[in-house]
Chains A and B, each alone.
Chain A
Amino acid sequence: MSDVVLAGELPFPQRPDYLAAGSTLRSWLTTTDHKRIAILYAVTITVFFFMGGAAITAVRLELFVPNGWFLTSDTYNRLFSFHGIIMVWFFLVPSIPNTFGNFLMPLMIGAPDVAFPRLNLFSWYLTLVGGAFAVYTLIAGGVDTGWTFYTPFSTMFSNTHVLTAAAAVFVVGFASIATGVNFIATTHMLRAPGMTWFRLPLFVWSIYATSIVMVLSTPVLAISLMLVIAERWLGLPIFDPTRGGDPILFQHLFWFYSHPAVYIMVLPAMGVVSEIIPCFARRRLFGYDFMVYAIIAIAGIGFFVWGHHMFVSGQSPYASLIFSFLSFVIAVPSAIKVFNWTASLYRGQISFNSPMLYALGFVGLFTTGGLSGLFLASIPVDVHVTDTYFVVAHFHYIMVGGSVSAFFGALHFWWPKITGKMYPESWAQFAAITMYFGFNMTFLPQFFAGYLGMPRRYHTYPAEFQLYNVMSSAGAAVLAAAYLLPLMYLTWSLLHGKRAPSNPWSATGLEWTTSSPPPPNNFDMQPLVDRGPYQYHAERESAGTDAPEVQNARSLR
């Protein structure tokens, strides 16, 4: 499409968009444009998502029958370990921050790029190197420690490729740290004039808080993996009890990262949902200030709850009491957010476009997952259900029901902005609904199996758990199909989709004021900000005083 044709449609006819700014492989691999790096990440994590998904599909197939039918125990253990490692570190952690955070954060604060564009590209290469270690591990025969690498199993007893698997996670952790540093600097330094802290969109707040969590907790993960490597490779006595080591030291270090890591996955998801709901409810977000404080509280308290993973590990019972209390406390800001999203619908003009369906699905699934978290914070109940399928169901509700729903919500919300193309809405709505039901079919039965005592990571299981496993596996098939749908219709939209206007949803937010897709430096002129986010009510309540916005909304609807 030539510029002449575009001139009639778009406000920025003179310059090519960021996608057209160079089409050679070299132009992509050496780019420092945050938007192109976001695309690089998107492609990378999509590959990882389907790899991790394939591994778990085999696992769920195997669990159809109690005593196994096509996998050996060793293969089974390696498959669930691969699934966990890939999904946590190569999909969930980078998913929203590294793709949508990268693409949108500078646009949302009115900046031309992130603070350190080269560091940004470098962290993508680190992800690739980490991914190469992970894929090598798989090809060389896999690793069977689970994603948690518990010692002394991982250091002294496993005969699989622990070193390369640990190296994979170690390296990709640096990508996390680099990205976090970059986003923190960007938020502090590059906000447009008038973009005060309390005018930041909640997505920016959540990415900012996530970045702080990444920068503070990921080094601890790196250290704990270094210690695993040191003991396994160099034979240093760190976790080996026969030489004075402490076998559960690793768990403390590991969960000091991995519990905050849950918020690395969930906070950005909360940010996405906080953007989508006001837009499709045409209302200001209820209680913006409280939402900001809740984000800060979650990020802060998130560092002090790791011990609730270890109530049965033999840690001091008094420590357990404190961790139990703090785990209840962190549920409060999460509850605030759920109430505020719900209240944001009140007196709205709600339309059910696919991003909204994903966002509402997120609220439902996150609430369910969060409430099941209360069971795990209560020590006596936790003792019974920990390390069972109850826990599996709980964290999948939070991490898959929550984060992945929000990821798809973000994908559909910003797809027109990112690609400049519209997708077929009815397909997208169908996929969103199928995903919601497939998800519940997969994981709801696991709460029951877990309460009845089915331990997690079991290759074979007593026959009385079969009903729940069959239900779960059937649900997984529906879920897998639902995940493949967007791959198809979004690809279709790239080739045949209608051209997207700069603001297809009549959303507020600076990213919608530039063209779709944006030009390489995001804005033709430095944006000025004179109001807070989510001024959707303005179009109804003060018609006349906010004329441009009203006109904008009408012309597109």
Chain B
Amino acid sequence: MNTIFTLPEASTQAARVDGIFAVLVVVSALTLALVFGLLVTFAIRYRRGSEAKRGRLPEIVNREFEVSWTAATLFLFAFLFWWAASADVGALTAPSNALEVHVLAKQWMWKTQHSNGAREINELHVPIGRPVRLVMTSQDVIHSFFVPAFRIKQDVLPGRNTETWFKATKLGVFPLFCAEYCGTDHSAMRGRVTVMSEDDYTRWLSRQPEGDDLAHLGAKLFVSQGCSGCHAGSSSVHAPKLDGLYGRTVQLSDGRQVKADDAYIRDSILQPKRDVVAGFEPIMPSFAGLLDDGDVQSLTAYIRSLGQEQDHE
């Protein structure tokens, strides 16, 4: 837990952010010292009636001062930008071996689901030293997943997946907050992230009630919602086959090409008339209102698993 004065650096990102933070603090402190120092010095030295020497500055001095401090601040700021931005670009994408955890936010709780199907509410257990990728969506309004000890924050949007990732470097329990104002109990939408050793995590995971993982859940939905009636291999209806679809580029009937990612699959389920695949009639009904965000996540996971199987063959 964090104490009153310090915030633990519990992820690889935390150390990076604190480094930049520290430099900005030093730059700010020096600038403040300069400005306040000059203000106070001038205020005392040149107070009305003091004996200090006055007189006019030559115009050329003004110009030179102006140009030099403008250039100096510009270079300083450009450097700070470059430095802070390059740290960010490096941290944009999660490593490919990252553990994937799904997060579903709703007024006012966090639901998390591990890859083996274990579910938690307002809790997230993760192993130390392994990158964890969070794939998040919201069931209602915009929330924001914020773990101060990890220095991560990412808005969680309805109707879209957002992602963030971290690699925990400290064991312990760290507070999780909702940072985007989301209504009455916004301030109560809090949780905890528990970082465990790899062994403890494995033991913890095995003790969790056996849930279906997302792909299996998706496979069941695929049948129960009637998707298989058209999209399954044996179907007589003329519908695109989904094996190996995930991540592929799809040719659309209006000439555009799109990549079949999470967003495309979600759109195709909820607004099937929007991106019609070339060579097919737009006959699929919309599932908007019939499937909630969790269902769409599960179906997406199922379709992704079809793609992965294809890759292995």
Best-buried of A156, A321, A458 by chain B (most CB within 10 Å): A458
Contact among A150, A244, A320 with B274 in the assembled complex (CB-CB below 8 Å) = A244
Q: Which residues of B contact A74 (CB under 8 A)?
A: 184
| Least distance between B299 CB and chain A CB atoms (Å) | 16
Q: Which residues of A contact B289 (CB under 8 A)?
A: 242
Q: Which residues of B contact A339 (CB under 8 A)?
A: 69
Residue B204 lies at the interface, judged by CB distance under 8 Å to chain A? no
The answer to whether B146 and A336 touch across the interface, beta carbons within 8 angstroms, is no
Residue A467 lies at the interface, judged by CB distance under 8 Å to chain B? yes
| Least distance between B151 CB and chain A CB atoms (Å) | 4
The answer to whether B184 and A77 touch across the interface, beta carbons within 8 angstroms, is yes
The answer to whether A314 and B155 touch across the interface, beta carbons within 8 angstroms, is yes
Residue B4 lies at the interface, judged by CB distance under 8 Å to chain A? yes
Residue B70 lies at the interface, judged by CB distance under 8 Å to chain A? yes
Given contacts A329-B77, A378-B20, A384-B151, A342 and B66 within 8 Å (CB-CB): no
Q: Which residues of A contact B141 (CB under 8 A)?
A: 150, 152-153, 156-157
The answer to whether B24 and A312 touch across the interface, beta carbons within 8 angstroms, is no
The answer to whether B80 and A364 touch across the interface, beta carbons within 8 angstroms, is no
Q: When chains A and B are docked, how far (Å) is the Cα of A153 from the Cα of B138?
A: 12
Given contacts A351-B48, A383-B151, A157 and B183 within 8 Å (CB-CB): yes
Given contacts A241-B159, A451-B7, A332 and B187 within 8 Å (CB-CB): no
| Least distance between A308 CB and chain B CB atoms (Å) | 11
* B289 (CB) vs chain A CBs: closest residue: A242
Q: When chains A and B are docked, how far (Å) is the Cα of A215 from the Cα of B214?
A: 51
The answer to whether A242 and B157 touch across the interface, beta carbons within 8 angstroms, is no
Residue B262 lies at the interface, judged by CB distance under 8 Å to chain A? no
Residue A379 lies at the interface, judged by CB distance under 8 Å to chain B? yes
How many pairs of A and B residues are in contact by the CB < 8 Å rule? 256
The answer to whether B160 and A332 touch across the interface, beta carbons within 8 angstroms, is no
Q: Which residues of A contact B2 (CB under 8 A)?
A: 452-453, 464
The answer to whether B187 and A242 touch across the interface, beta carbons within 8 angstroms, is no
Q: Which of B34-42, B96-104, B123-131, B221-229 contacts A (4 or more CB under 8 A)?
A: B34-42
* B292 (CB) vs chain A CBs: closest residue: A242
Best-buried of A350, A381, A448, A456 by chain B (most CB within 10 Å): A381
Residue A504 lies at the interface, judged by CB distance under 8 Å to chain B? no
Q: When chains A and B are docked, how far (Å) is the Cα of A293 from the Cα of B238?
A: 65
| Least distance between B16 CB and chain A CB atoms (Å) | 6
- The B-contacting residues of A in range 131-153, CB under 8 angstroms, are 144, 146, 148, 150, 152-153
Q: Interface code A279-293, partner B: CB below 8 Å = 1, 0 otherwise?
A: 001100011001000
Q: Which residues of A contact B153 (CB under 8 A)?
A: 312, 383-384, 386-387
The answer to whether A350 and B31 touch across the interface, beta carbons within 8 angstroms, is no
Q: When chains A and B are docked, how far (Å) is the Cα of A320 from the Cα of B65?
A: 33
Given contacts A73-B184, A350-B48, A367-B32, A537 and B56 within 8 Å (CB-CB): yes
Contact among B28, B73, B89, B160 with A372 in the assembled complex (CB-CB below 8 Å) = B28
Residue A374 lies at the interface, judged by CB distance under 8 Å to chain B? yes
Q: When chains A and B are docked, how far (Å) is the Cα of A317 from the Cα of B91?
A: 11
Q: Which residues of A contact B280 (CB under 8 A)?
A: none
Q: When chains A and B are docked, how far (Å) is the Cα of A371 from the Cα of B85?
A: 18
Residue B74 lies at the interface, judged by CB distance under 8 Å to chain A? yes
Given contacts A77-B184, A381-B20, A242 and B42 within 8 Å (CB-CB): no
- The A-contacting residues of B in range 49-80, CB under 8 angstroms, are 49, 52-57, 62, 65-66, 69-70, 73-74, 77-78, 80
The answer to whether A312 and B155 touch across the interface, beta carbons within 8 angstroms, is yes
Given contacts A74-B184, A364-B39, A157 and B140 within 8 Å (CB-CB): yes
* A452 (CB) vs chain B CBs: closest residue: B7
Q: When chains A and B are docked, how far (Å) is the Cα of A144 from the Cα of B54?
A: 57
Q: Which residues of B contact A455 (CB under 8 A)?
A: 146, 177-179, 187
Q: Which residues of A contact B77 (CB under 8 A)?
A: 328-329, 331-332, 374
| Least distance between B53 CB and chain A CB atoms (Å) | 8
Residue B297 lies at the interface, judged by CB distance under 8 Å to chain A? no
Residue A462 lies at the interface, judged by CB distance under 8 Å to chain B? yes
Given contacts A73-B187, A368-B32, A380-B88, A328 and B80 within 8 Å (CB-CB): yes
Best-buried of A150, A241, A317, A325 by chain B (most CB within 10 Å): A241
- The A-contacting residues of B in range 222-248, CB under 8 angstroms, are none
Given contacts A157-B183, A287-B66, A367-B32, A348 and B24 within 8 Å (CB-CB): no
Residue A540 lies at the interface, judged by CB distance under 8 Å to chain B? yes
* A450 (CB) vs chain B CBs: closest residue: B148
* B77 (CB) vs chain A CBs: closest residue: A328
Q: Interface code B153-194, partner A: CB below 8 Å = 1, 0 otherwise?
A: 111011110100000000000010111111111111010000
| Least distance between B228 CB and chain A CB atoms (Å) | 24
Residue B144 lies at the interface, judged by CB distance under 8 Å to chain A? yes
| Least distance between A344 CB and chain B CB atoms (Å) | 9
Q: Which residues of B contact A462 (CB under 8 A)?
A: 175, 190
Residue B87 lies at the interface, judged by CB distance under 8 Å to chain A? yes
Q: Shortest 10 CB-CB distances between A and B: which pairs?
A: A241-B159, A453-B148, A378-B84, A345-B42, A458-B187, A387-B179, A371-B28, A328-B77, A153-B141, A379-B88
Q: A328-B77, A374-B80, A380-B91 are in contact. List 17 more A-B contacts (CB 8 A).
A: A150-B142, A241-B157, A244-B271, A282-B48, A287-B66, A314-B160, A329-B77, A345-B39, A368-B32, A377-B84, A379-B85, A380-B151, A383-B88, A387-B179, A452-B5, A453-B149, A458-B186
In the complex, 30 of the A-B residue pairs with CB atoms within 8 angstroms, ordered by the A residue number, are: A150-B180, A153-B142, A153-B181, A153-B182, A241-B157, A241-B159, A241-B160, A242-B270, A247-B160, A248-B142, A312-B153, A312-B179, A317-B92, A321-B88, A332-B77, A340-B66, A343-B65, A345-B43, A360-B43, A363-B35, A372-B28, A379-B85, A380-B20, A384-B21, A387-B179, A452-B148, A453-B2, A455-B187, A462-B175, A467-B4
